[in-house]
Amino acid sequence: MAVVQAWDAPLPRALADWLLLAATFLLPLSAAGTIELGFTITISYVLGGVAAVVGFPSVIRGSLRLPRWLLCAAFGLLAVYAIGVVMGSDLGLSSSTGRSRFRDVVYFLDLALGLAIMALMVDFVGRRRTPRPLMACLSAGAAVAATYAAYQWLAQHYGWPLRDVVNALNSDGVTTGDRDQGPGLLGWERVRGTFKEPLLLASYLALSLPVTVVLAVSADRRAKLAWTACAVVITLTLVLTVSLVAWAALFLATLVVASIWAVQRGKPRMAGILGAACAMALAVGPTVFVDPSALSTVTGRSKETLRLTSGNRTEAWARAAVVWSERPMHGFGPGQSAVRLAYRPDLGPAVDAPITFGSAQGLWAAALIDGGLVALFAWTALLASAALFVGRSLLLRNDPLLLGCAVGGLVAAIVSQLSGDRLDLRVWFAWGLVLAAASLMSQQQPRDRSECPD
């Protein structure tokens, strides 16, 4: 009992809070300042992990602040992947890459850490009765990352110093450092900042932008100018990434949340218009995604490049479907999607590249290979439970902070279905922030619509 009381004392609780804030601010260091230990270890990953251990009582309290059905969905997902670690078949590619040993355990721990960080953020916000400190750290970090990326856009073109500071392995798993990201606006190279790819930078900026905007709108006069400047630089850099996926995710997420806002405010005409716009975007989106060449003029990227980008994803999904069909119910084990989709990258005729890991290009495809239909159902249950909880909170209380966090969380959810083979740390932080804001707002009395100026 004495150990438990000491663990939950003010000092370790304060240390966990500061570590959580630092991890939120340093999220942009995704592929810069990293350590390679078979897997890429980022600063935010380490800080978040230490915060979860030091503040484990806060993790428990944060979990208990969430609805029981949402908590059951989270534990169900964790149980599915724990069983997958025991029953999975780790093929590995250690002879080729040295990056697959204990891959299933690492993926399980990554999932556990993500869920712990969400609970930690819920307790943090619940104790302070405001999500502003976490929102401020997220927005400030995004503004710093965007400022460097804007400099990078000029530095790459004119050969200035520090035009590339990435030290992590690129997405091919073989090369590091500077690598051409393809032409973008004005034919200049696209920016990736401190991330592996422009899409990763763009998705991070897209989920941070709505949070920064609501901070600027709701801040006092002294802070409004600073947050407005942050929102402007994030927006401009988001344009420089020339990432259609991030742009589309931000547009769709804004439409969805705006539709809920219109319903909550009792504006049926506006809700109908926004709902129709959402339906149209969902109907047209897949067609544009399959053949995005029509957007070549808008993006400045060639039609061939856009077709190649979408083709890589559709090809990965087709391969994932074939692999999944071999073991459809329980899959091959956590992290095996990258192994089963391994390939030999084309680095040029003079380079004999080793076999490297592939990507399922989306959480849903990776879940099918890693855990089969059981894992896909578990992820769907978690996402649906979180969406229901946040949506209910939005309908109960019209709060601009919750609106901004909800847009950011939805952007992270959309992009995670179109890239990667596991959830990046920034997605967990975005989801933790929106769940924390929703938990806080749901505990307060619903605000009367007549008190909200039109």
Give the domain ranges of the chain: 2-451
Mean pLDDT of 224-239: 95
Residue 343 bridge partners (DSSP) = 356
The pLDDT confidence band at residue 233, using thresholds 50, 70 and 90, is very high
Mean pLDDT of 59-76: 94
Taking 60 as the threshold, does the pLDDT of residue 453 lie above it?
A: no
Burial (CB count within 10 angstroms: exposed 0-12, middle 13-18, buried 19+), residue 302 = middle
* Residue 381: Cβ within 10 Å count: 18
Angle CA 156–158–161, to nearest 5 = 65
CA geometry: angle 218, 220, 222, nearest 5 deg: 135
pLDDT for 10 beyond 70: yes
81 or 304: which leads in pLDDT: 81
Confidence of residue 452 (pLDDT cuts 50, 70, 90): very low
Check residues 136 and 290 and name the one with the higher pLDDT: 136
Radius of gyration (Cα) for the chain, nearest Å?
Answer: 22
Whether 447 shows a pLDDT value over 80: the answer reads: no
Task: Name the more confident of 173 and 10.
Answer: 10
Paired with 306 in beta bridges are: none
Distance CA 361, CA 372 (A): 16
Pair 178, 163: CB distance under 8 Å: yes
Tens-place pLDDT, residues 395-407? 988 889 999 999 9
Rounded mean pLDDT of 107-133? 94
Instruction: Judge whether residue 310 has pLDDT over 90.
Output: no
Mean of the pLDDT values across residues 188-205? 92
Confirm if 118 and 432 have CB atoms less than 8 A apart.
Answer: yes
Separation of alpha carbons 113 and 49, rounded Å: 7
Q: What is the torsional sign of CA 418, 421, 426, 427?
A: positive
